[in-house]
Structure 1
């Protein structure tokens, strides 16, 4: 497992280091009090900031004391933390303004090789403006105006930390992609899910029959396909909610939904003798909303009538009904004869690779600049929306954050334009893509 990048929070006592540490870690781990000097030892935790994962160190307040005293030994711990960190986050108190100790800490940080990000904490409202302006004199670049207590300035903090803590895909993502393919088979009752799995396994592992609703529990089966591990998940049939009255069936449908949550790739199995129904589209939409890779397979293809017309009709209906992911792969199989199963499994491995893929920041922003130049964002009410850059913050499903000014005014149609471009131009196909918008604020633009 690869080491997480490390951020060390430093500053004089009582500037809000532990408050920021707690916010980044997501829970109250470090003690917080108005009295200075509460934190003495280094405290570490795993933090997440808008999808960035890193290790954060809360250090003791830096004080100019003799090395043999307690404050002096605490300062030695802080120096050690900064030297092992990927970036030091230097926190000052914007309301209190610059102090001689802040200036001394800045001189020390400039002498170290660790990169430094300067943040002016307690800058909510207008009370910290003078302190923010004074902070420029520290020679550490533009300070981030923020409030750890109120969660303000998080986007700007993300932007400044990102170059030091963002990682290209590492060992953990590769390990996930090489683990067992978690493949769930879902669909309406009697679509032939259990029959299809029995054919894959080449044994009567699951009970089948003409009666609808035989399968009640989600059943996971570990298996190998051509030497590659697969975890097959058979689920109960998912009927329209209004028709589900039996308590046991309600529990079964809830269990099927949980199976979708644990899957990587979901196969929506259609009954080739009945075609596509509204409930199938509802199931497909649910799978995509949960961020899972989706394949649609028409079962009972060996007995389907007017096959070409059926296939084209279902494809058109899927494209119209699943506007959020046009082009979902549509395949044909027969659980009875085994035809099409190899193609289905190969497609499942391929779509998982796409679902787990990451684009380099350089390639992503080259595409982004071209997309914005080709179709600039609108200016609602005459106010220009400036889109600055985009970054991928996660995979499985691919997740992106777009930064700019006034992004909250960006129309949904333009957001769809960008998502469709990511799918088409960057090779994500029909897997669900998530795009979040973030506005950064100028602390002097009141």
Structure 2
């Protein structure tokens, strides 16, 4: 191991290193708290001054991260800043920035590129940079490596570059940052050594792979696996519905097989910052090699069509009661992309809401985790969450369950709603006429 490699690895292992985390959101903030908790000094860098000011005042806007945890981190030396020149003080830079799709559903690496461009004037020798954002295989080599080398560094000797995909699962009580195994790939063997040293104190299990491309592909496979299986079960739901079969009962029965089957449940579509987006990163990159990823694209088409299917079922249910969608009062329960979180990114619930609005429905929503409809780039509703009680529920022509938060009182909802359209199988074994599956 080269002297520089050994020096940086030792500095990381002894916790003398300063960790810079760029992007203080759903990925960066939990990482900060973990490294801070085990004794590292952390500098958090973010372009949002309001968010930085909020963090420095000891406040959090992410529901599952408490104000107390931020306040404690500040006492232990954490500070947030918008000043990218502070990167020069850091021994490690962890990049946790968004990688969305553009309007053509192609990879948008603008956040990654602009972040790296803002950092490279301030990087120095004996530093490691780790990209954690989900992206297509080759991004680290094609976008980060040339920019670092342009500064005069030799990656693998006096600068170190790794890719280690984030695996956060907000709202999952069974896992936390520390307990989720960390995949790490380095540009060179020396980069990998430093990457392992960077993560091994903070994460219980570090899984090393042979290259950054392998690590990048690993994250895509994880999410494509889920996307394809969810697409399969959503398609099965449509077929089962036509046959008069309850797909939730079918899945529950199939799940009793102790081998060879993993239960996936249908819903109103895909949401979150990973599964609706990541498959298209590989689809786009595959075209460079003359390949057409038909299987991946087909599952994407099925999942993207689910909100339209759900609204069709709402319309049918209203028609059965002699009502049209236009003018009917519709209450959507849950606009977060999954249960028990406040994250609405790519939430299919919001597309369901837009389709209802477009068809003339009089729309409201209730979500105990999202008190006011947030500012979003592509969606707008001037709405706040409705507090549920018997009278409120009874005033709507239809109540649509799109996210099955544990905070909802589903017994009260069942008792008082005139009509329920259930997309999550909450009432999978209920036989009441007013409950419709979608």
Fold conserved between structures, TM > 0.5: no
Structure with the largest fraction of strand: 1
Report the TM-score, using the length of structure 2 for normalisation.
0.25
TM-score by length of 1: 0.25
- Which of the two has higher C-alpha Rg? 1
